[in-house]
Copies of this chain bind each other. A is one copy, B any other.
C-alpha cells in the first residue's frame, strides 16, 4: 500500500447518502486541479478516473513517481487545454489515494476495512458533486472519462443533468456484462483467498494480501489488452533466455510482464479498495437505475454527448457504446459516436492513439 503522502482534500459538509441506504460520514475527497478557473466559473472540466486510477491526471504520482496517467491528453496546448480550462480530477470514494475508502479511519478510530459500506458508481459521483459544490462550480464545461470514468460521466449526466454541458465517454458501458462480472469476481476471490486478507483487517503490521491482489491485477491486465496486442507485444518470445527452461520461471515475456504488473500494483493500491470498486462497477446498470429503460436515464438531459469505442476493446466492445448511442437518440439527446481503430485493446484510451486526441479536442473545443 501507499506510504504517507498529503493529498489536497475537501471535506464534504454533511454525510453522503448512499444507494445502499447507509450514510457515510466525514467524507473527504482528494483532488488535483490543473489550469485556472475563470471568473464566471464556467470553464471547468471534470475528468473521472478508471478502476485503479487516481487524481494525478497530469502531475507526478506521489507514490510511484510516474507521470500523470493522462499527461498526453491534459496540459497546456493539449486536447484538454489547461491554458483554457480548469481541469479537476478527484479520487473516487472507496479508493485509496486520499479520498475516504476502506483504509480510512472510521469514526470509532479504527480503519473501516470491510465495515466500509458497499458503494455504487452513483455514490462515487455523489462524492464528486459534493466536491463541485465545495469548489462552487455549478456547471461543468464538460465531464470526461474512460472505462469506469465513463460510467461516472454517464451517471453524472443521468442523475445531475444540469451539472455538465458536455459528456465525453470513452471505452465504457452502461452496464457490466456477465463476463465483466466474472473477471472481477475472479480478482475478488484471489484477494479473499489470500490468508493475509484476514477478512479485510490487514492494516496493521502483519502484511497486506499482496499475492492475491497481484493475481487480481494480472487477470485485469489480460482483459485490458487485445489478443492481437498481446501477440504483437509478446508473441511466444522468451524472456532473457535462448531456450525454454523446463521450469516454472517466467520463460515467456508475457509471463514476465504479468508478474511485473501484478507486483508493481500492490505498492500503490489497497486490496480492499479493489474489492469495493470492482463491486461498484459490477453493480453499475444505468437502465436498471432508471426504471429499466436506458433512454429514460437521459430524459432530462440537455447536454451534448460524445461516445468513443475502440475496435480492439473486448472488455467494453463497440456494441456497448452503440447501445448507449441508441438510448441517447431515443431520448432526443445530441450524441456523436465514433469507433476508433487502435491495437491496444481497452487500454487504448490511455495510450498513443492520435485519433483519440483529435476527437477529444474537437468535442471539448
Name A's B-contacting residues (CB within 8 A).
Answer: 19-22, 114, 117-118, 175-179, 181-183, 185-186, 188-190, 192-195, 211-212, 214-215, 218-219, 221-222, 227, 230-231, 233-236, 244, 246-248, 250, 252, 254-255, 258-259, 262, 275, 279, 282-283, 285, 314
Contact = CB atoms under 8 A, between A and B. Distances in A.
B236 A285 contact: yes
11 contacts: A175-B236, A178-B231, A178-B236, A182-B222, A186-B218, A189-B214, A189-B215, A189-B218, A189-B259, A193-B214, A215-B215
Contact of A258 (B182, B233, B283): B182
Main secondary structure of the interface of A (DSSP, over half): helix
A270 to B, nearest CB: 15
Contacts of A176: 236
B222 A183 contact: yes
A212 B236 contact: no
A202 B342 CA distance: 46
Nearest to A262: B189
A178 B233 contact: yes
B186 A219 contact: yes
B222 A193 contact: no
A178 B215 contact: no
Contacts of A235: 178
Contacts of A259: 185, 189
Contact of A231 (B177, B244, B258): B177
A140 to B, nearest CB: 29
Nearest to A222: B182
A178 B214 contact: no
Contacts of A258: 182, 185-186, 189
Contacts of A222: 179, 182-183, 186
A178 B248 contact: no
Nearest to A185: B255
B181 A255 contact: yes
A118 B214 CA distance: 25
A314 B314 CA distance: 11
A21 B262 CA distance: 33
B185 A254 contact: yes
A258 B215 CA distance: 16
